[in-house]
Amino acid sequence: MSYSLPSRGRPRDPRSHEAIIRATAELVVEFGYAATSIAAVATRAGVGKDTIYRRWPGKPELVFEAVFTTTDYAPPPDTGTLAEDLTVLLQGLVDEFRAPAAAAALPGLLADFAADPGLKARIRGDFLAPSKERLLVVFERAVMRGEIAAETPVDLVLDTLAGAVFFHIGLVGEPADPQLSALLAAVVAKGIEVR
Amino acid sequence: MSYSLPSRGRPRDPRSHEAIIRATAELVVEFGYAATSIAAVATRAGVGKDTIYRRWPGKPELVFEAVFTTTDYAPPPDTGTLAEDLTVLLQGLVDEFRAPAAAAALPGLLADFAADPGLKARIRGDFLAPSKERLLVVFERAVMRGEIAAETPVDLVLDTLAGAVFFHIGLVGEPADPQLSALLAAVVAKGIEVR
Amino acid sequence: MSYSLPSRGRPRDPRSHEAIIRATAELVVEFGYAATSIAAVATRAGVGKDTIYRRWPGKPELVFEAVFTTTDYAPPPDTGTLAEDLTVLLQGLVDEFRAPAAAAALPGLLADFAADPGLKARIRGDFLAPSKERLLVVFERAVMRGEIAAETPVDLVLDTLAGAVFFHIGLVGEPADPQLSALLAAVVAKGIEVR
Amino acid sequence: MSYSLPSRGRPRDPRSHEAIIRATAELVVEFGYAATSIAAVATRAGVGKDTIYRRWPGKPELVFEAVFTTTDYAPPPDTGTLAEDLTVLLQGLVDEFRAPAAAAALPGLLADFAADPGLKARIRGDFLAPSKERLLVVFERAVMRGEIAAETPVDLVLDTLAGAVFFHIGLVGEPADPQLSALLAAVVAKGIEVR
DNA sequence: AAATAATCGAGACGGTACGTCAGGTCTTAAA
DNA sequence: TTTAAGACCTGACGTACCGTCTCGATTATTT
């Protein structure tokens, strides 16, 4: 996610970018999303505030990038059954939501995205896009195996999976349950299977 | 949810209480959760700020009460099948989440609750308690009918249902789909049925 | 200085009056004039705020009475010479200004009196009246002794004496100088003597 | 009186400084010292509150600077006699105390300075310093002329003059008497003269 | 080499909201 | 009618962030 592209003049220092991202992630973990101010990020990164605003429109976009840099380019799971594929996929979501920075940032971050009309449209794109691609492949294979119908609503299933994990982990703050992914995957898989 | 109970001295004016609640709900609908300030609520309610702080510890608690005064004491559905019971129950959640004030407040409200350790513990209690009671009854009947196992995890199912609706409606902002409740209920019901 | 006179119903409890005066004097000494609030006085006196407002119009009047209850009905000095009479009179002023409660209250008290048109007119009356009476007698005797002219401006001399003591003691906070009264009296006496 | 001296970053806008000073002086004249709030100053000056707090620690320091910007660098009077020198000097004090802003601000200002231990020490320095320098020169000349003793207590005389004027003009609010300076100067001069 | 231009850290700028506190009035039940 | 208690509205307090701006200085590209 990049936000500008100048050409002449002094080029932007990439070390600033990195320092800002790191400072943001640290502060979010230490103090939470709401208590993380741009000014504090600038101070910790040893950077001027403008250097931040020059690169990101605001806190939501900055924190999003700082927290989700570990964009997983993991290949879609292919275990042979829908339930196990979903388990792997869900475990990825769980891991993502349970990462310290993400866990600390997600509720406030999603709230800020939802509150801004321009950002709201990007929740599905920015937050869920990687998972959706993998889910699509998983579904394709499941359709070919005859496990689910071709018209199974991907978005709704994805919202359900993400919503369940977000609510269970991010909001309610349930302790880590190693069987969560398998349990949820089993329910959903069985729920959408044709027979 | 009440926050005080004095006895001597001038009693608190219930009209202030009501005016504050109404003003809060209006402002949340008009400007959103984040842009609703205590001072603005006080002004619109024709009330001093202290009168608000005397009754509620802060914005989250105030908005929660203002938005969820319509605590539904609806009886648990009893249609005869789990899927239909869940459909009714889910429709209640959808209606609740789609109410103007709730839709405007929920993301920010849940974020503020999640950010405060003291409030986080109350998300399950305050937000989900009514639904959980009804779901428990629905599950009891389903167990008696032999549709689901006795040990079906109520909390996880509830988090899934609420999370799905919150993500789909509240965050992503999908347009109203009259079949959403039925679809989701069918998937989950089938997913947790014993056979 | 009394501010009200009811007649029917429950009579006012004189112990409240005393408790309020004492609490006021204590708080002024402990925290200063500005930091002494009516609410704090009420709490320490074990009294409701209205009981205070029913007897005094506001903080300035209350503190004035609390701090200057020791209204000195001392007779005018009569030592035989103007300089010595003035020394005694001045020592009275110095003692009054150096009393803990008065020292703590005077600057703020005079400021509040000066800021209110209604009270400003009473500075000369309430604060300086007792001293003026005694100074008048002292002057009469000095005139008869031929030390000063008959038309010596009493008010101006009194303002000078009071102003000097207030500035030196109350504002600048000079440490106690036992010779201050004599020194100042000598200067002024010599300054206004006819020869 | 300056309160900060940074070097890096955007320099402070001198127009803000000027606008704040002017707004302060205006408000003090219009509404009095106590009724002049920092917020009101900020609004009238078209300035944020922080811009004020960045330059002055609080209202007393701000008002002091706003009211006494006309620091008189007038040379010490040199008329040939102590009494006339004092008359000129006193007339300067009278003019200063009778200036609209000063008259409106002085009682409250001095009270706030006296109430704060840190500021109290500065009354003699900030308020009286210019007059003291001139009085010292006047006294030196008077000593050389043999009018007064070398050890005449400058501070006490200054407190007396300032206190007299402050009490007579500032507190009691006596109307303008063109002969006041001469009268007071005559008394004090005669009072401290050696013969 | 000189001019142009965008960057950098720093921090001032006008706003807005925060949560607390004081002032002075009003309202209860009890005396 | 007073009392203690305490709620009420108003408005000021001093702090913290917001996102923009202005400074001198630095580092590129363009002339």
Residue D83 CA to residue C77 CA, distance in Å, equals 30
Q: Which nucleotides of F are covered by protein (CB under 7 A)?
A: 1-23, 26-30
Residue C84 shares a structural domain with residue C97: yes
Residue D33 shares a structural domain with residue D75: no
Contact between A166 and B163 using a beta-carbon 8 Å cutoff:
yes
| Residue B9 placed within a domain | no
Question: The domain spanning residue C53 has which CATH number?
Answer: 1.10.10.60
Residue C105 shares a structural domain with residue C186: yes
| Residue B1 placed within a domain | no
C184, D156 contact by CB (below 8 A): yes
Can you give the residue range of the structural domain that contains B49? 14-65
Count of residues making up chain A: 195
Interface of A with B (CB under 8 A): 32-34, 107-108, 110-115, 120, 123-124, 153, 155-157, 159-160, 162-168, 170-174, 180, 183-184, 186-192
Look over chain A and give the mean of its residue pLDDT values, rounded to a whole number: 92
Over residues C126-155, the pLDDT tens digits come to 888 889 999 999 999 999 999 999 999 999
Q: Which nucleotides of E are covered by protein (CB under 7 A)?
A: 4-28, 31
Residue C37 shares a structural domain with residue C99: no
Residue C61 to residues A71, C52, C122, Cα–Cα distance (Å): 71, 11, 11
A3 versus A49: the higher-pLDDT residue is A49
Q: Which of D5, D33, D65 is the last residue of a domain?
A: D65
- pLDDT value at residue A4: 45
C188, D140 contact by CB (below 8 A): no
| Residue A152 placed within a domain | yes
- pLDDT bucket at A57, cuts 50 / 70 / 90: very high
Give B128 CA → F7 C1' in Å.
Answer: 34
* H-type alpha helices, D46-127: 49-53, 59-67, 82-98, 100-115, 117-122
Give D1 CA → E12 C1' in Å.
Answer: 20
Residue D93 shares a structural domain with residue D133: yes
**Structure tokens of C30?**
């402990």
Question: The domain spanning residue B127 has which CATH number?
Answer: 1.10.357.10
Residue D34 shares a structural domain with residue D122: no
Chain D residue nearest residue C31, CA to CA: D115
Distance from CA of B144 to the nearest CA of A (A): 20
- pLDDT value at residue C173: 81
Q: Is B178 helix (H, G, I), strand (E, B) or coil?
A: coil
Residue D28 shares a structural domain with residue D123: no
Residue C62 to residues C5, C15, C56, Cα–Cα distance (Å): 17, 16, 6
Name residue B129's amino acid.
A
- Mapped to the 3 state alphabet, what secondary structure does D162-189 carry? HHHHHHHHHHCCCCCCCCHHHHHHHHHH
Give contacts of B110 with chain A, Cβ < 8 Å. Answer: 107, 111, 171
Under 8 Å CB pairs connecting chains A and B tally to: 129
- pLDDT bucket at C70, cuts 50 / 70 / 90: low
Contact between C111 and D113 using a beta-carbon 8 Å cutoff:
no
Contact between C108 and D115 using a beta-carbon 8 Å cutoff:
yes
| Residue D156 placed within a domain | yes
Residue A5 scores a pLDDT above 60: no
Residue A167 shares a structural domain with residue A179: yes
- pLDDT bucket at C7, cuts 50 / 70 / 90: low
Look over chain B and give the mean of its residue pLDDT values, rounded to a whole number: 92
**Which candidate in B27, B147, B167 is best for mutational testing of the A interface (most A CBs within 10 A)?**
B167
Contact between D160 and C164 using a beta-carbon 8 Å cutoff:
yes
Over residues D40-60, the pLDDT tens digits come to 999 999 999 999 999 999 999
Query: CB-based burial of residue A183 (10 Å sphere; 0-12 exposed, 13-18 middle, 19+ buried)?
Result: middle
| Residue B114 placed within a domain | yes
- Of C177, C179, C163, which Cα lies nearest the Cα of C127? C163
- pLDDT bucket at C68, cuts 50 / 70 / 90: confident
Under 8 Å CB pairs connecting chains C and D tally to: 126
Residue C182 shares a structural domain with residue C86: yes
- pLDDT value at residue A148: 97
Which residues of chain D between 55 and 94 are close to nucleic strand F, CB under 7 A?
A: 58-59
User: D and C: touch, per 3+ CB pairs < 8 A?
Assistant: yes
Residue A160 CA to residue B166 CA, distance in Å, equals 9
**How much is the pTM?**
0.91
| Residue C9 placed within a domain | no
Nearest nucleic acid nucleotide to D53, CA to C1' distance = F14
C102 versus D2: the higher-pLDDT residue is C102
Residue A24 CA to residue A43 CA, distance in Å, equals 11
Residue C183 scores a pLDDT above 90: yes
Contact between B108 and A113 using a beta-carbon 8 Å cutoff:
no
Residue A127 to residues A72, A86, A110, D73, D160, Cα–Cα distance (Å): 12, 18, 9, 69, 77
Domain count along chain A? 2
Q: Which residues of D122-134 are buried (b: 16+ CB within 10 A; e: fewer)?
A: bbbebbbebbbeb
Over residues C12-58, the pLDDT tens digits come to 788 889 999 999 999 999 999 999 999 999 999 999 999 999 999 99
Contact between C110 and D112 using a beta-carbon 8 Å cutoff:
no
Residue C27 shares a structural domain with residue C106: no
Residue A116 scores a pLDDT above 80: yes
| Residue D2 placed within a domain | no
Averaged pLDDT, B11-25: 97
Over residues A79-110, the pLDDT tens digits come to 999 999 999 999 999 998 999 999 999 999 99
- pLDDT value at residue C71: 60
Residue ranges, chain D, pLDDT below 50: 4
Which among A114, A123, A168 is the nearest to B159, CB-wise?
A: A168
Nearest nucleic acid nucleotide to C42, CA to C1' distance = F4
| Residue A5 placed within a domain | no
B20 versus D125: the higher-pLDDT residue is B20
Angle at C63 between CA C59 and CA C69, to 5 degrees: 150
Residue D25 shares a structural domain with residue D41: yes
Give D179 CA → E18 C1' in Å.
Answer: 55
